[in-house]
A and B are shown apart, each in its own frame.
Chain A
Amino acid sequence: MSAPPADPPTWSGRSVPRAEDPAIIRGWGSYVADIAARDRGVMYARFVRSTIASGRIISVTVPPDVVAFTASDLVGVQPIRAVLHRPDFVDVATPILAEDVVRFVGDPIVLVLARTEAEAEDAAERVTVELEPLPAVLSADEALADGAPLVHDSVPADHPNAPNTVVDGRIATPGAEEAFRRADHVVAVRVSSGRQSAMPLEARAAHAAYDRGTGRSTLHATLQMPHVTRTGIADCLGIAEDDLRVVSPDVGGGFGAKMALAREDVALVWASRHLRRDLAWIETREENFLAAWHSREQVYDVEGAFTAEGELLALRGDLICDVGAYCCYPVTWAVEPLMALAELPGPYKVSEYDVRSRAITTNKCPIAPYRGVSRPMQVLAMERLLDVAAEEIGIDRVSIRDINLVSEFPHRAPTGLVLDLASHRETLATAAQLADLDDFEARRAAAREEGRYLGIGFSCFAERTGYGTPAFAARSRPFGADGTKKSLITPGFERVVLTMDPSGGVTLRIGASPHGQGLKTTLAQVVCDELGLDPSQVRVIASDTDATPYGWGSFASRAMVIAGGASMLAAQDLADRLRTLAADRLGGLPGDVELSGGHARLRGGDATVPIAVLARDTYHSSHLIPDKGEPALESVGLYDPSGTFANACHLAEVEVDPLTGNVTINRFLVAEDAGRLINPAIVDGQIHGGVVQGIANALFEELVYDDRGVLVTTSLMDFLPPTILEVPDIEVAHVYTISPASVTGAKGVGEGGTIGAPAAIANAISDALRPFGVGVFHLPATPHRIRTAIREGRDLQLNRHSSVTEVTA
């Protein structure tokens, strides 16, 4: 562990208590359902959803006293459409309500309205939908089989992709084949994961208000991208963006699942405008499992070409992502396979590469980003590969990583990705040292004497963060085949507007949209370092399209890097202006003015002036400063980086009970490098929460469909998030690399915990099960699966070519 950088005392680097907390801990937060509860005239919405995986809608019968709408009522409403201009991309439309056919269990068909939630539920039960079943495809293998039914029959017959293949990307270097030919060892693994839900504790919710006077709608919804949501809804409804204000108030967790545009939100705004009244929709937990986006269901076949010394020469792979029935907006169903294609090598040096990565559509709930997107699977593949290779080659698990980790920067991967300054080897060394491997081996041996099985597992990864416009632009050509740019959505700059009012108080308006990350606190810290103010003097305004500049919201570990960078740049601009004003008043040069403690002072002298006085005079005595610019103190910060990489090494120590298959995590350690930490407590909080979601992926949580495509895990009694009793104490050690790729030096840390933990745990369980000759290649590694693996002496692995996700061992 290195020490934090020894900088002058600043607000950044301190665990400042969060400004967000006081209201929330008193119960004074304002989540969407709270806004609905305060609206006395509101009507509640309920959606009648498909109960079958694939079928034709024969009829919808609505009792005369029930207010209900179907697709045929939504005259002129456009479907949701998000595209990339790539020859291998299949573009399909998502209707707001299912039109002629349903494509998954949970597909919304009818919108029902009533005065209370309970009455809406009653009314929805009295609506009868007659469905004629059609053949369904319930797995990627089924979807790819000859003669498979088509999930979308709208795809042009001359499209180059195989049926049901909606993205088919490949990156190959010329020397890959040769590298495999001359390799001393070729090691192959197949890794896979079941479906998982992001499961924010607050399910989706929306409140659509209509103002008869202005004809304007206001949507309060639980969102990560309010501006993009406004664009999406305005496009669907054919209204000007200005006719819709979107506000994301307190948000009860997002984790990616609240990025994608909800069909239900579009329907609600449409119905509210149609009826000219306020409507609310509070999603139930069951609906959230059925229809609010799934994640993770992927199968990666990966081969590595190694030298006799364990050097990884080349990677070959076939990556399959089951993306469900529809294409999510705005990042599209290419997000999983293309991220995997570009980032699979992670922190490892690989010179030759030949990987194909596909998205396959199936009759299941659509996939959308969930914390880490496809990176937990990429890391699972690479880290299982390295452990298997280490065993085959006969070198230790730390060495095989150490010799292959990137140590010279910038490093250009064969995928074109450029890794910026990082500490891959240092974080591995830190974790290995803290793991005390000799001591572990002694304990392992002692445990074996008692019939207990201990294992230890590492995982190293590079967490790409702060994806700006260049990163997203690389996914698509700028124009479509017909020369159009239609619908191409390319995130990710951030703009902020920083205003100092006449009292010297500061307002920072941001396009990012925090939902639990404490961003209002951390951005205030960044701004105060530049302006010499106290964070209590900074109000951060976010998540309201009427009050903030257009931005891309909060996702992909981007907010601290990009919005933080924009805030720093804006604050530096404003600080320059204040120094000029102060220099004029104090009789010095701007470069000699220091801003601190709410005062401007000339370096080396006693002359000071309160910043509040400068602010007051700028507005109220502007005639006295004619040559110093306009009578306002305002700056705009724009930041659009190409991205940076945080990195970490996770270490898990587990005990597996071979009798029950139960796994206990005895130790979990994270050696993390997120660059400059603006607020260490918040950083550690992100790591803790992320790791526990990764533990959930590794051991507990799975969305299970039956052989007819009906989701059977629709409650928290079937889908099992960990409680405090299932999680260990999480140790965090920091390494600090200040990369020029981020102006604040912060690297982003939102997803790393979730990315690295599954692989570390899979490696640790496999290590513990070594006496039984079996390893873990499919997650979650449930007790039943582990028992079966031990009993049958076969790896815990996904069986392909079956009609549903069937895991055997």
Chain B
Amino acid sequence: MSSSNTTPCRLYVNGDRYDIDVEPRRTLADALRDDCGLTGTHLGCEHGVCGACTVLLDGQPVRACLMFAVQAEGSSVRTVEGLAPDDVTLHPVQQAFWDNHGLQCGFCTPGFLTLIAGYLEEHPDAEENELREVLSSNLCRCTGYQNIIKATLAAQKLLNGKQTEPGGVQEPA
């Protein structure tokens, strides 16, 4: 890539500042993965249907494959790596996915986690039907969505400070 084609771009991702040089045509997804080294954002179709690349842009779920990196300048981006507060604690949505077997191959999972985290933060009391509508934004090929909706409802309870139902999964005594 010749530097004459690139433009400086400043991204704020998960609270960190990244000063990168990108071609104007570089997508936000590619910039996150290749320039910022945040490979948790996955690319499943690169035409905006599957939602694996979903990130939060100023709190709103967006398809990172359908945005140019330069369009995100000055905005705050949150990726799957930025959901958990630290390396020890999980975000409630992550915890709920683990507890409820909400993932198999895990390729779509970052997109679902950001989608759900973003939506529940703005709509903590969303009804199940509304959440199903939101989950239909993204594709999962492994789970049949059964445990994704279960995990989403469990995450909602965790986020709202309620106890989850005892175990989608069961620890040995």
Chain A residues proximal to chain B, CB less than 8 Å: 9, 11, 14-18, 20-22, 24-31, 33-34, 37-38, 115-119, 199-203, 250-255, 282, 284-285, 515-518, 681-682, 684-685, 688-693, 715-717, 721, 723-725, 727, 729-730, 753
Contact = CB atoms under 8 A, between A and B. Distances in A.
A738 B128 CA distance: 39
B81 A27 contact: yes
A203 to B, nearest CB: 8
Given A16-B171, A22-B98, A37 B139 contact: no
Contacts of B38: 27
Contacts of A116: 1
Contacts, number: 195
B171 to A, nearest CB: 7
B84 interface: yes
Interface of B is mostly: loop
Contacts of B90: 22, 25-26
A21 B40 contact: no
Nearest to B173: A9
Contact of B109 (A11, A24, A717, A730): A24
A632 to B, nearest CB: 29
A693 B142 CA distance: 9
A25 B144 contact: no
Interface string B133-147: 101111111111111
A715 B44 contact: no
Given A22-B98, A33-B39, A199-B141, A27 B110 contact: yes
Nearest to A732: B146
B64 to A, nearest CB: 13
Contact of B146 (A14, A22, A688): A688
Contacts of A201: 42, 44, 50, 52, 105, 107-108, 139-142
A507 B126 CA distance: 45
Given A24-B109, A26-B80, 14 more contacts: A14-B171, A14-B172, A25-B80, A26-B81, A26-B84, A34-B39, A202-B42, A202-B44, A203-B44, A250-B106, A681-B147, A681-B168, A692-B145, A753-B144
A684 B150 CA distance: 13
B23 A118 contact: yes
Given A201-B50, A516-B106, A723 B171 contact: no
B169 A17 contact: yes
Contacts of B169: 15-17, 681
A9 B39 contact: no
Contact of A28 (B23, B40, B46, B140): B40
Contacts of B157: none
Contacts of B94: 25-26
Residue in B41, B138, B144, B171 with the greatest tally of chain A CB atoms within 10 Å: B144
Interface string B55-76: 0000000000000000000000
Nearest to A692: B144
B42 A252 contact: yes
Contacts of B83: 26
A692 B110 CA distance: 21
Nearest to B101: A681
A729 B146 contact: yes
Contacts of B133: 725
Contact of A27 (B39, B43, B146): B39
B43 to A, nearest CB: 7
Nearest to B81: A27
Given A119-B1, A517-B104, A27 B140 contact: no
Given A15-B170, A24-B106, A682-B101, A37 B33 contact: yes
Contacts of B101: 15, 17-18, 681-682, 684-685
6 contacts: A38-B39, A252-B108, A684-B101, A688-B146, A721-B139, A724-B145
B34 interface: yes
Given A685-B147, A721-B139, A17 B99 contact: yes
A389 to B, nearest CB: 31
A422 B108 CA distance: 36
Contact of B47 (A14, A690, A717): A717
Contacts of B156: none
B11 interface: no
Nearest to B149: A724
Contacts of B142: 201, 253, 516, 685, 689
Contacts of B79: 27
B1 A115 contact: yes
A254 B107 CA distance: 11
Nearest to B168: A681
B44 A689 contact: no
Contacts of B33: 33-34, 37
A660 B138 CA distance: 26
B172 A518 contact: no
A727 B170 CA distance: 26
A25 B47 contact: no
* Closest CB pairs A-B (n = 5): A27-B40, A252-B107, A516-B105, A688-B144, A24-B106
A573 B97 CA distance: 36
A727 B147 CA distance: 12
B106 A21 contact: yes
A216 B88 CA distance: 38
B82 to A, nearest CB: 9
A250 B30 CA distance: 19
Residue in A9, A251, A517, A716 with the greatest tally of chain B CB atoms within 10 Å: A716
